[in-house]
Structure 1
Amino acid sequence: MKATGIVRKIDNLGRVVIPKEIRKEMKINNGNTLEIFVDQDDSVILKKYSPVEELDRVEDYIDTLVETTDCDVMITDADKVVASSEDMECYVKKPVGHGVKEAMQSRTTKTIKTAKEEDICEECGKQEKCQLESVLIAPIIKQGDVLGSVILSTTGR
């Protein structure tokens, strides 16, 4: 993404309006959480906050799920794949696909018997490294908010 700057005034309640174009480009929706950083050179930095990325032991969760289910595992936040088992590393940091978004929006566990890469990842339609068969997508919900999802996948083993 290219660097963008814009001048905005702060209202009497301390609010700053982020322009629609920037929100759309950054995929910032109503209700999203942002981190606010203050740099040493008087810069204020807004960053999308992902509570799933902040989990201390996400790799331990993945290892446990791989051992107990004999499936490949991915964990996502609302926007991208945060972590995965070894065979699914090609998906890490890629934006989630429509199948994952549907499961999170409907707040239900979704099973896809013959999954395509596009179901899991927007940008992975033509990748041949990552082969999927059956996929189970379960949303991660905390206090009524969808934080991400856990994805279990078989890969022809």
Structure 2
Amino acid sequence: MKATGIVRRIDDLGRVVIPKEIRRTMRIREGTPLEIYTSGEGEVIFKKYSPVEEMGQSASQFAEALYKAGGMPAVICDKDHVIAASGIPKKEILERRVSPMVEDSMNARRVISYRGESSDKILAIEGVDRYTLVCYPILANSDVCGAVLFLSDGKNGVSSELLEKLAEAASIFLGKQLEDE
């Protein structure tokens, strides 16, 4: 845990303001769900809540199935980070942040489909040199919870109708799973 040097007081209603700089850095917006943890040492920890991350092993198995069916690296992410991946070294990509352009696409509920125009290449994950072929948002209870992505294989690649349909089916399925939890 890293100290920020910022001290805030609790108001008479029990609220504390998270400073703007921290909200911006951590990508916390109005309405972002936060999970609250406590420790025996008197610490109170706020963590962004991710229902997709709660899927854990199921998301990993689903990414593996998507990779086998689509033949391109498959990624399942929440609104901020990669949760599961297949077809790409996991230590290279797991828990990395999604790129701001992918995050904006999710928030706008917009599908990304790369058809070969070099100007349309969108890097998917910060620090990973692979671009997005398909990005399909995951919706649960009409809220965006994450996305299903297919990435370039490191050489080339363009979206196909198969990849788009696989990503769409996966996002619908995962959204239904999240609604049932």
Tell me the equivalent position of 1:19: 19
Aligned length: 151
Deviation per CA, 1:133-157: give whole Å up to 9, x if none: x711100111121111000235258
Instruction: Note the C-alpha offset of 1:36.
Output: 0.7
Residue 126 of structure 2: which of 104, 122, 129 is its match?
Answer: 122
* Divergent runs of 4+, >6 A: none
Question: d(CA) in 2 for partners of 1:135 and 1:23?
Answer: 30
2:39 counterpart letter in structure 1: D
Tell me the equivalent position of 2:141: 143
Root-mean-square deviation over aligned CA pairs: 2.5
2:141 counterpart letter in structure 1: Q
Q: Could you tell me whether the CA contact under 8 Å between 2:36 and 2:47 is conserved in 1? A: yes
Unaligned 5+ runs, structure 2: 158-181
2:148 counterpart letter in structure 1: V
Tell me the equivalent position of 1:152: 150
Larger proportion of helix = 2
Tell me the equivalent position of 1:113: 115
- When normalised by structure 1's length, the TM-score is 0.81
Question: d(CA) in 2 for partners of 1:21 and 1:154?
Answer: 34
Cα separation, partners in 2 of 1:142 and 1:41, compared to 1, 3 Å: same
Cα separation, partners in 2 of 1:146 and 1:20, compared to 1, 3 Å: same
Q: Could you tell me whether the CA contact under 8 Å between 2:74 and 2:85 is conserved in 1? A: yes
Deviation per CA, 1:47-67: give whole Å up to 9, x if none: 122221111411111122123
Q: Could you tell me whether the CA contact under 8 Å between 1:74 and 1:83 is conserved in 2? A: yes
2:35 counterpart letter in structure 1: E
2:7 counterpart letter in structure 1: V
Question: d(CA) in 1 for partners of 2:12 and 2:82?
Answer: 39
Deviates more, 1:36-45 or 1:95-104: 95-104
